[in-house]
Structures are given as structure tokens and as C-alpha cells.
Amino acid sequence: MNFHRRSSGREKSISRVFWGLLILAFSILILNTLTSQSVSKVLRTIVSPIWKIEAKAVSSPVGSYFFSKTKLLDRVVSLESELAESKIALLRYPLLESENEKLKLFLGRVTSDTRLLGTVLVPPNRNGYDTLLIDIGESQPVSLGGIVVAHPDIPIGTIETLNSNSALVSLFSNPGRETEAIFADDSPLTLVGSGGGNFKVELPRSIQINVGDVIRLPQLSSKIVGVVGSIKSSPADAFQTVLINSPINIFSLRYVEVIVEN
């Protein structure tokens, strides 16, 4: 039996158009990098009205109609159960917080910060870069490097680029990004982002760390940045790999706060 070959043989070599576009694309990317993302700023300014319309549509009653009712009901049941457990665990929290504030006041170290509420225009799962775009721009009193927190008080990243009416936030969990943190009795460690709100840390096996331990930023008002999820170690290895998860779901964030001053 003969199979008639439909293909006329090997396709011609790649056209010059492709090579031209390739050079153009990399030139734009390199130019953008060298000019502190000037091209990106212009593009985001042009596109941000579309994101704002989308954010309003999703949060409107018409937008929520399209979500599955069953999924929502399941989620409600699961959250109610979690809430009941958390309430019990948090009974002591107000007492400890009040005691902490009194001690700081006694030692003359009162902390307060001003925050700006922002809407998340593009969540991190949309773009694959572990960044998110918020609707706070250069016109607001924010600066590059400003810490962005999610409710209730979980720091998630810092402002990397400011556009006219939006800002690009790089998450602490950005793959490869290193963040200094502390755990237990203020023992220091360096978090290495592995994407999606997760971190990885290599610690000597002699250091005692447990699943559920809280990881905080090294500030006077310590903010929780992660919780130890699992620990991998083997007897032959001098180090243990600690996997840390963000205590919140960064993919479902709709509002964040930017700390504008301390």
C-alpha cells in the first residue's frame, strides 16, 4: 500500500520576517529593562482602564451570578468549619496583643503606619510572573519598595514599578527572590521564593523547626509572612529543606493595602 505524501518536503527555511521580529522583540525588551520599564509603564497606562472595568464587572452582582452556586456553598461550609477552629485558637490573641502594645509603650517604641487601600487589577495567577498589578499610581503618596500587605496584616510583596495610575507589585514568593525573615525566638533565616505564595529554606539539620511554625519579617511590629508547611530531610543530608506557605491565598486577592509611612 502506498501512502501519498502530501507534504512537499521540508518547509523552506525560516523567513526573514521572523528574524526581524525576533531582533525587534528582544530590542524592545532590553530597552525596557535599561530604561526602568518605561515601555511597560506606557503600555500599562493604556491597558489599565480595561482592567478596571473588568474588576468592577467581576465584583458587581451580575458578575457574581456566573460563579457556580454549588462551589460557593461548598466553600462556605468549609470556611465555617475553619472559622470555628480558628476562633478557639485565637481566644488568647487580644490579650497577648494588648500586653505587647503596653510593653512597647512602656519602652517608648510606639509603632503606627498609614495605609492606602488598593484594588488588585491583575492577580498573580493571570501572568505567570508572580507579580500583581494594583490601582495605586504615582499620584498617590507611595514609593518604590513600599510594602504591600493583604488582609489582615500579611505582607505579600513590594512595589517594583510605579505607573501613572497603577503599580506593579513583586511578591516575596517570586521565584529566586530572597527575603530576610525570622522564626521562633527571632532566629534569622533567608526565604527563597518558589512562586505561588510559597518559599523554600535550606537550614542545617541541627536547627529545630516544626511544621506550623510562624515566619515573620524582622520588624518591630512583626508581620507574619509564612507558615512552615512541610520539612524534608534525610539522615545522609546535613541540611533540611523547609517548605513555607503563605497564610493567605494570593490568587484570590481582590484588595490589598500599601504601607505609606511608619
Partner 1 sequence: MLRVLLSVSLFLSILLLPWWVSTAIAIFLLMSKQAYEVLFGALLLDLLYGNFQSISDVLISFTVGAVLLFLAAHYLRGALIFYDNR
How many Cα atoms sit within 13 Å of 66 on the Cβ side?
Answer: 6
Q: How far is the CB of 125 from partner 1 (least distance, A)?
A: 6
User: Grid coordinates in use for 108?
Assistant: 517608648
CB atoms within 10 A of CB 183: 23
Which residue in 211, 180, 200 sits closest to 242, CA to CA? 200
CB atoms within 10 A of CB 172: 24
* CB closer to partner 1, 44 vs 142: 44
Binding track over 159-178 against partner 1, x by CB under 8 A: -xx------x-x---x----
User: Grid coordinates in use for 195?
Assistant: 512562586
Q: Which of 28, 79, 144, 238 is close enough to bind partner 1 by CB under 8 A?
A: 28
Which range in 86-94, 103-111, 123-131, 219-227 contacts partner 1 by CB under 8 A? 123-131
Q: How far is the CB of 32 from partner 1 (least distance, A)?
A: 6
The footprint of partner 1 on residues 131-150 (CB under 8 A) is 131, 133
User: Grid coordinates in use for 47?
Assistant: 491597558
Tell me if the bond preceding 152 is cis, omega within 30° of 0.
Answer: yes
> Rounded distance, CA 262 to CA 259, Å?
8
The footprint of partner 1 on residues 180-209 (CB under 8 A) is none
Q: Following CA atoms 114, 214, 253, 100 in sequence, which dihedral angle do they give, to the nearest 10 degrees?
A: -30
Q: How far is the CB of 59 from partner 1 (least distance, A)?
A: 15
> Is 67 one of the binding residues for partner 1 (CB under 8 A)?
no
| Amino acid at the residue 64 | S
Q: How far is the CB of 166 from partner 1 (least distance, A)?
A: 10
| Amino acid at the residue 178 | E
The H-or-E segment that residue 257 falls in is strand 255-261
Q: How far is the CB of 21 from partner 1 (least distance, A)?
A: 5
Which range in 48-56, 59-67, 99-107, 144-152 contacts partner 1 by CB under 8 A? 48-56
Which positions lie near partner 1, rule CB under 8 A? 3, 5-11, 14-15, 17-18, 21-22, 25-26, 28-30, 32-34, 37, 39-40, 43-44, 47, 50-51, 54, 122, 125-129, 131, 133, 160-161, 168, 170, 174
